[in-house]
Amino acid sequence: MVWSQGQSLGILPRKPQLSTLAVHELAVLALQPVNFAVHAAECVCLTGPSGAGKSMLLRAIADLIPHSGDARLDELDCSQMKPSQWRKQVGYLPAESHWWSERVGDHFVAADPDEFRQLGFEPQVLDWQVSRLSTGEKQRLALLRLLANQPHALLLDEPTASLDAANVGNAEALIHGYRQQHQAPVIWVSHDIAQIRRVADRVLRLDAGVVQEVTP
């Protein structure tokens, strides 16, 4: 056991950690066993035809559906961690956001006003009713809700699909900032070629159950 200074103080900002998200022989249903690694602060776009299983792959990495093989974050295998712990660290953003409480703020464990402003919200948004939110507002808030958990890695399923151009830019900048600051590996499902060119370090294509690296 290594003791680092200030570990138990809990007042220092969390130090960025170098983390690599690796997928080892991960297979679900029609998906062939998949192997790849996303390094710290790297953004890998996942593309491919609709229904190819991109969301399924993300859901398997987040350990939301039964699968064979394993995913690991640094030295920690998913199967050896508590599921809730794994999902907090490997933050998955589904394409459609869901809300269970009436008030927006009930869904947040913490709120960073800067992040909220970056996506065009004032902190008062926490007192809004979920039923009054538009689809785009929900998508932006779902991203903020996920980042509030401070995940070590991000799995984003079309995070900007229902946003207008200005907000797409804001969201991309926010995610970029987050992955730099936290050195977080990011897997980003996108259909938008222009967006892939803007955000991706590498591109993976999922087609007919096989994942291949392609040039952006």
Q: Of the two residues 6 and 66, which places its CB atom closer to another protein in the complex?
A: 66
Q: How would DSSP label each residue in 106-171?
A: GG-S---HHHHHHTT--GGGGGSBGGG--HHHHHHHHHHHHHHT--SEEEEESTTTT--HHHHHHH
Does 191 sit near another protein (CB under 8 A)?
no
Element (H, E) at 73: strand 68-73
Does 65 sit near another protein (CB under 8 A)?
yes
Interface region with another protein, contact rule CB under 8 A, candidates 27-35, 59-67, 122-130, 163-171 = 59-67
Q: Of the two residues 102 and 213, which places its CB atom closer to another protein in the complex?
A: 102
Q: Which two tokens stand for residue 102?
A: 């009436």
- Indicate which single residue of 24, 88, 191, 198 sits in contact with another protein (rule: CB under 8 A): 88
Interface region with another protein, contact rule CB under 8 A, candidates 29-37, 85-93, 130-138, 175-183 = 85-93
Strands 90-93 and 153-157: parallel
- Indicate which single residue of 7, 17, 68, 85 sits in contact with another protein (rule: CB under 8 A): 85
Identify the residue whose tokens are 């509030």.
148
- Shortest distance in whole angstroms from residue 70 CB to another protein: 11
Interface region with another protein, contact rule CB under 8 A, candidates 6-14, 36-44, 61-69, 189-197 = 61-69
Stretch 140-159 residues interacting with another protein (CB under 8 A): 145-146, 149
Helix axes 165-182, 135-148, angle to 10 degrees: 10
Of 64, 172, 170, 151, give the one whose Cα is nearest residue 109: 151
Does 115 sit near another protein (CB under 8 A)?
no
- Shortest distance in whole angstroms from residue 142 CB to another protein: 8
In 110-121, which positions are buried (b, 16+ CB within 10 angstroms) versus exposed (e)?
ebeeebbebbeb
Q: Give the Cα separation of 72 and 19 in Å (integer).
A: 10
Does 3 sit near another protein (CB under 8 A)?
no
Q: Of the two residues 110 and 210, which places its CB atom closer to another protein in the complex?
A: 110
Give the end-to-end CA distance of the chain in Å, rounded to a whole number. Answer: 42
Residues forming the site for another protein (CB under 8 A) = 62-66, 79, 83-85, 87-88, 91-92, 94, 96-100, 109, 145-146, 149
